[in-house]
Amino acid sequence: MRTISVVPGDGIGPEVIEPALELLAFLGLDVKLDVLDHVNAETYVSTGRALTEADLDRVRGSAATLLGAVGDPRLGDTPYVREVLTTLRVELDLYANYRPIRLWHDKLSPLRDKTKRGIDCVIVRENTEGLYSGAGGNLSAGSSQEVAFDLDVSSYRGVSRILDFAFSVARTSVCVVDKANAVRHGGTLWQRCWREAVERHPHIDTTHLYVDTAAMRLVTDPTAFDVIVTNNSNGDILSDLTAGLAGGLGVAASANLNAATGQGLFEPVHGSAPDIAGTGVANPFAAVLSVALLVEHLGHAREAEAVRAAVAAAIEHDRVTPDLGGSLSTRQAGAAVLAELR
């Protein structure tokens, strides 16, 4: 029996994880849960640390991890969120952030042109380097002369492996997105790694766009894309954009993966949403769709498709939370998906 470690986290994290775990239990797979419900802001406030070495060992020892969200308004300027998220991603070397987005129903699209609405693509975001590597500093901090700098780090190994990952999950095409015309050194490296990756994956179509153009193209015709691969910060921004083309953060799921070790952490794209935490209206679909990704990763593709079909049906029948135009609570929307599955 395989173990799934669960980090509910803060805010709406535990609220959306509850229906997600009910759904997982309903699927009746041969798995057991290891819930780390102390990995949260409370623990950070009282001990100064949220994720210990022992916690990491539990996560490492499990077949997959399900995370709700972390983040607390009291801890605004502290390294708390970074400590938890980055430690998990970096310690487990989960270099590939896989963010699929599909329009589950036409009514969720903000686009006017009906023929361009059907987005069904994946953002593959490099997860361990780029602008979020933490490298940087500041000169004359606090003075009127202060200069702050954050290094945008790209390594040959990091870029090559994320490109290989993107080609390996593509169905039809890979669009490489960078800003090589302005960010010169990293851009040159991405372009070189891309040329090499194309040689390793000759059967997949491939194109290139600068990130600003990609943002516009995604809004004018998202149907043109299959897999988009890009660095950490571009991927962060573009994947919120694609979420917005398909109903918003309430339906955006993600996986953090290492193709070599098979390790995976699955989580909704959204954060802890302190503005709605405790009110019972958070959309559980992103967490439920993250469970679909998780069970698919464990080899249960049929169950994953059934979960996705049930979410699509719940949306079709307007059994949804306020962010999607409905009036259901988190629990009711979770129950609606279960009802569709039955």
List the catalytic residues: 132, 179, 212, 236, 240
Shortest reach from residue 54's CB to ligand NAI, in Å: 21
For binding to ligand NAI (CB under 6 A), which residues are involved? Answer: 12, 16, 69-71, 81, 85, 249-250, 267, 270-276, 282-283, 286, 323
Radius of gyration of the chain (CA): 20
CA 80 to chain CA mean position, Å: 19
Measured between alpha carbons, how far is residue 177 from residues 106, 187, 301 in Å?
Answer: 27, 10, 29
Q: Residue 282 binds which entry of ligand NAI, Mg ion, none, with Cβ cut-offs from 5 to 8 Å by kind?
A: ligand NAI
Q: Residue 236 binds which entry of Mg ion, ligand NAI, none, with Cβ cut-offs from 5 to 8 Å by kind?
A: Mg ion
Scanning 26-34, 49-57, 76-84, 231-239 for contacts with Mg ion by CB under 5 A, the matching segment is 231-239
Reported residue count of the chain is: 342
| Cβ-based nearer residue to ligand NAI, 16 or 24 | 16
Scanning 96-104, 187-195, 207-215, 229-237 for contacts with Mg ion by CB under 5 A, the matching segment is 229-237
Q: Residue 170 binds which entry of ligand NAI, Mg ion, none, with Cβ cut-offs from 5 to 8 Å by kind?
A: none
Binding mask 233-252 for Mg ion (x = CB under 5 A): ---x----------------
Is the distance from CB of 76 to CB of 236 less than 8 angstroms? no
Rounded to 5 degrees, φ, ψ at 121 are -140, 175
Tokens of 41: 């802001």
Tokens of 81: 């969120």
The bridge status of strand 96-102 relative to strand 253-257 is antiparallel
| Cβ-based nearer residue to Mg ion, 236 or 267 | 236
Buried/exposed code over 86-113 (b: 16+ C-beta within 10 A; e: otherwise): bbbbeebbbbbbbbbbbbbbeebbebee
Count residues near Mg ion (CB under 5 A). Answer: 1
| Cβ-based nearer residue to ligand NAI, 206 or 242 | 242
| Cβ-based nearer residue to ligand NAI, 126 or 226 | 126
Cα separation, 14 vs 72, in Å, equals 13
| Closest-CA residue to 97 (of 288, 211, 240) | 240
Shortest reach from residue 251's CB to ligand NAI, in Å: 8
Cα separation, 308 vs 328, in Å, equals 19
| Residue number of the CB atom closest to Mg ion | 236
| Cβ-based nearer residue to Mg ion, 226 or 236 | 236
Shortest reach from residue 285's CB to Mg ion, in Å: 18
Q: Residue 267 binds which entry of Mg ion, ligand NAI, none, with Cβ cut-offs from 5 to 8 Å by kind?
A: ligand NAI
Shortest reach from residue 142's CB to ligand NAI, in Å: 24
Is the distance from CB of 69 to CB of 267 less than 8 angstroms? yes
Shortest reach from residue 288's CB to ligand NAI, in Å: 10
| Cβ-based nearer residue to ligand NAI, 270 or 319 | 270
Is the distance from CB of 92 to CB of 267 less than 8 angstroms? no
Asked whether position 323 contacts Mg ion by CB under 5 A, the answer is no
Q: Residue 186 binds which entry of Mg ion, ligand NAI, none, with Cβ cut-offs from 5 to 8 Å by kind?
A: none
330-341 and 301-316 helices, crossing angle to 10°: 120
| Binding site residues, Mg ion, CB under 5 A | 236
